[in-house]
Structure 1
Amino acid sequence: MADRAGRSVDGGVRQDGSGPEPGVAAGEGASGRRRLVPWKPRGRLTPHQLKRRRLATRGALAVCLLCVGTVGYSVGEALTYPGDDSTAARLAGWAREHELGPVVDKLENLQYELDPPQVGGSLPSAALARMKATAPAVPISHRGVPLRAPMRPLVAPGLPGEGVWRALSVAHGEPVVQGTYVRPDGDHTSYQAAIAWISGKKARFELHPGVREPGGSFDVPPTIPEGSRTGLLATWNGGFKVTDGGSRGGFYLHGETAGELRDGAASEVFYKDGSIKIGQWGRDVRMTRDVIGVRQCLELMVDNGQVVPDIDVDSKWGATDQSRMFVERSGVGVTAQGDVVMVVGQALTARTLAEVMRQAGAVRAMPLDMNRAWPSFMSYDGAKNPASPEPTNILDFENPPERYYNQATRDFVAVYAK
């Protein structure tokens, strides 16, 4: 029996459409099996075919429910894990963990196109007040650690307090952590970058993992817990994610490694004596018995005291054209004297970030994380409660000052007085 198109009711079709193909029984395909044709009316199906349809439908529904349930559980877990991350940051992180990074990049690019940073204009009043506040709140000794000479503003004429260093954290009466503010370029004058300087001789540095990045079972906590805060001077954020390959490098701490330490990668290296070095892995720094931690991220932005020649190559510093976007960024470097310079900014390109770090004295410097959710630098004041010093954001980003007193989702660096 055939329908009006010449098809066999049970599935066999002649080449000319006139009836069943030779050698193929009615209701069988070329494989010799009965074929279930979903568009057939129920009344024209055999009991066996009806049973198979019910099983196929139930199977498809089960798969769909499983997928929806799995995705829902996964997203729900991302929205409720410990830490201070915003909903937007959690969803973006979930997407990148599930190979949707290109989608997130396109959305970030679109958002940038729709709402680019303002050109021209003046700093907000709160930012101006912060820039002017250079006088110390308490008497400070400058014998061992003098305040740094003012940094030449990158935009002329300079504003009151611009480039002038002030004490951020004090240890033994000395300004071991100092900071200043500058406008990073002459076009985006309503934004500022903050620069922190830390004495390499008076401080010790510790690397901490995050709960989710890099995750794992490290013996160092993903927080600065009560009982471990005395002498705390500063904290800063980690870099691009290691677990999805975004950092193009690895993370090492106390014998355990996440990702893979890569030759040529820009690296923060932490030593048993509490010191830190920043350089190119395999050239300036390498694995030795004294190394207890390594955090790699992309490549050096400043090398031998100069901004690297390929600083404008987009593919080196972020997805698509993000290297040239004026967005929130962070980076860290080391001076010729072994002191540390850390920069966070509200509207920086890869080039302007590198230039600010170089102007601040870095001879080698590397990028850290970017976008509003991740950069941060906190200083700590233990005058009122040495066991739990009060944290202050050097610039206001998405996370609160207490970010690292809670469980951190991403790795970070903690700085203590020696």
Structure 2
Amino acid sequence: MSRQTTGRRPEDREDPEGPEEPGGRRGPSPGPARPPRRRRLLPWRHRRDLTPGQLRRRRLVTRGLTGTCLVCAGWLGWSVGHALTYPGKDSTAARLAEWARDHELGFVVDELEDVQYRMHPPRVGGDLPADALARMRATQPAVPTPAHLPAQPLVPLHVPLRPPVSPALPGEGVYRTLATAHGEPLVQGTYVRPDAAHTSYEAAVAWISGRHSRFQLHPGFREPGGTFDVPPTIPEGLRTGLVATWNGGFRITDGGSRGGFYLDGRTAGELRDGAASEVFYRDGSLRIGVWGRDVRMTPEVVGVRQCLELMVDDGRVVPDIGDDSKWGVSDQSRMFVPRSGVGVTAAGDIVMVVGQALSARTLADLMQRAGAVRAMPLDMNRAWPSFMSYDGTRTPANPKPTNILDFEDPPDRYYTQATRDFVAVYAR
């Protein structure tokens, strides 16, 4: 059975490749060449193929999408612009990171920090820079006691701290006066290298007399936010007697601290049993311990700041200090980054540690070496750790602040509105 044909003889059909030339080659087709069909850039029909109703609907959709994009771009610009211009002395990088975390982009910030760390890890070995060496060596010689003061000072200078690295450098671990009141060195500090590997970095240890000091918890206007009777700054008129300040802990609002914040009857987050806690009392004293075990809510409590769990307990570094998930983002907790922590001694004095390249373990070790029987982590990364001492010898009503280490924010960061909570210390 033969196949059906179109009614044309084979020799009458057009050869698409043109007639065959001598030698078997094909020549060009005698018909006019069709122009190549242009591919459309957009996957919809051309205007000339649409009815008037379809054209109207397309214009409405196009205008709606354009308007939505403009609104989103405008909101994004306004939101980022607000983050870059709110009060305070936070750096641009810190503001953008906080904006990203506030808008569910914390994973992007974590990844960028991780990439930056891998590209520029802390240096291993080497010597301290010249300015760090000079700061370490700047210890005070013994000075004669003025006649109007008792022969034995109420607050003597501490015996030197045993440094983690041996042999010690000149001045390493030796305490010096950072702030005085009534002629007494209420705030003392020293510098050490944090471990035998990171010998080109410094950590600072501060000691504060608990008996002669008064401690005040301040909120930040963004963290934890809200309205409190205590201002998010140390304004003029309330600076007399100020001797020290230090930073708060991980964020309350996103749950990073795994605890809550309480001040003058108002709570942000939730006070959690088992959380490491700074607890502030009506008489100006400060205690540090486990909420629900060492410290709890009483009528005398005016402030509570919780953050993670204790790093030092009963005078010993906790056994699970190497558990990465307990001390922040898991892929960063193994890193040697700027960190801070605070502890209390058996005598009720306060020790505070900040460092440029600390792990959770080396931070805990330094707080334990400084005499802490209970100690907890505070904030980390370059933008947030801080410890400032204040010199009011020339202007008692406006003492001059000094950073114990060079971090991102200037020493007067708490003389303007602070984005995050902090602690202020006054002489009694």
Residue 408 (structure 1) aligned to one of 399, 403, 418 = 418
Residue 134 (structure 2) aligned to one of 105, 129, 137 = 129
Partner of 2:68: 63
Distance 1:257 1:52 in 2: 53
Residue 99 (structure 2) aligned to one of 87, 94, 98 = 94
- How high is the TM-score relative to the length of structure 2? 0.87
Q: Deviations over 1:276-326 (max 9, x none)?
A: 111111111111111111111111111111111111111111213211111
Q: Deviations over 1:89-130 (max 9, x none)?
A: 110111111111111111101101100111111111111111
| Aligned partner of residue 186 in structure 1, secondary structure | coil
Q: Deviations over 1:260-290 (max 9, x none)?
A: 1111111111010000111111111111111
| Structure 1 position 46, deviation (Å) | 2.4
Partner of 1:300: 310
Higher CA-based Rg: 2
Partner of 1:185: 195
Of 250-259 and 131-140, more deviation after overlay is shown by 131-140
| Aligned partner of residue 401 in structure 1, secondary structure | coil
Residue 315 (structure 1) aligned to one of 325, 328, 343 = 325
Q: Percent identity?
A: 75
Amino acid at match of 2:106: G
Say whether residues 1:327 and 2:330 are aligned partners.
Answer: no
Partner of 1:369: 379
Partner of 2:169: 159
| Aligned partner of residue 258 in structure 2, secondary structure | coil
| Aligned partner of residue 298 in structure 1, secondary structure | coil
Structure-2 change in CA distance of 1:107 and 1:138 (3 Å) = farther
| Aligned partner of residue 325 in structure 1, secondary structure | coil
Q: Deviations over 1:20-50 (max 9, x none)?
A: xxxxxxxxxxxxxxxxx97122222222222
| Aligned partner of residue 277 in structure 2, secondary structure | strand
Say whether residues 1:168 and 2:173 are aligned partners.
Answer: no
| Aligned partner of residue 249 in structure 2, secondary structure | coil
Distance 2:423 2:411 in 1: 14
Amino acid at match of 2:183: G
Structure 2 portions without partners, runs of 5+: 1-41
Say whether residues 1:284 and 2:294 are aligned partners.
Answer: yes
Q: Deviations over 1:57-92 (max 9, x none)?
A: 111111111111111111000000111111111101
Say whether residues 1:360 and 2:370 are aligned partners.
Answer: yes
Of 350-359 and 49-58, more deviation after overlay is shown by 49-58
- How high is the TM-score relative to the length of structure 1? 0.89
Amino acid at match of 1:373: A
| Aligned partner of residue 345 in structure 1, secondary structure | strand
| Aligned partner of residue 412 in structure 2, secondary structure | helix
Structure-2 change in CA distance of 1:365 and 1:70 (3 Å) = same
Distance 2:412 2:142 in 1: 22
Distance 2:43 2:160 in 1: 78
Amino acid at match of 2:76: V
Q: How many corresponding residue pairs? A: 382
| Structure 1 position 363, deviation (Å) | 0.8
Alignment of 1:377-396 (within 5 A): 377-396=387-406
Residue 248 (structure 2) aligned to one of 232, 238, 244 = 238
Q: Deviations over 1:356-382 (max 9, x none)?
A: 000100111111111111111000111
| Aligned partner of residue 279 in structure 1, secondary structure | strand
Residue 273 (structure 1) aligned to one of 272, 283, 287 = 283
Partner of 2:207: 197
Alignment of 1:30-45 (within 5 A): 39-45=44-50
Distance 1:322 1:360 in 2: 25
Partner of 1:104: 109
| Structure 1 position 136, deviation (Å) | 6.0
Structure-2 change in CA distance of 1:77 and 1:139 (3 Å) = farther
Contact residue 136 and residue 166 of structure 1 kept, 8 A: no
Structure-2 change in CA distance of 1:135 and 1:157 (3 Å) = same
Distance 2:61 2:263 in 1: 51
| Aligned partner of residue 207 in structure 1, secondary structure | strand
Say whether residues 1:347 and 2:352 are aligned partners.
Answer: no
Contact residue 164 and residue 180 of structure 1 kept, 8 A: yes
| Aligned partner of residue 333 in structure 2, secondary structure | helix
Residue 239 (structure 2) aligned to one of 229, 232, 244 = 229
| Aligned partner of residue 167 in structure 1, secondary structure | strand
| Structure 1 position 185, deviation (Å) | 0.2
| Aligned partner of residue 205 in structure 2, secondary structure | strand
| Structure 1 position 138, deviation (Å) | 7.3
Of 239-248 and 199-208, more deviation after overlay is shown by 239-248
Partner of 2:274: 264
Distance 2:205 2:408 in 1: 18
| Aligned partner of residue 242 in structure 1, secondary structure | coil
Amino acid at match of 2:87: P
Distance 1:313 1:65 in 2: 47
| Aligned partner of residue 160 in structure 2, secondary structure | coil
| Aligned partner of residue 315 in structure 1, secondary structure | helix
Contact residue 180 and residue 195 of structure 1 kept, 8 A: yes
Amino acid at match of 1:47: P
Partner of 2:156: 146
Distance 1:265 1:40 in 2: 63
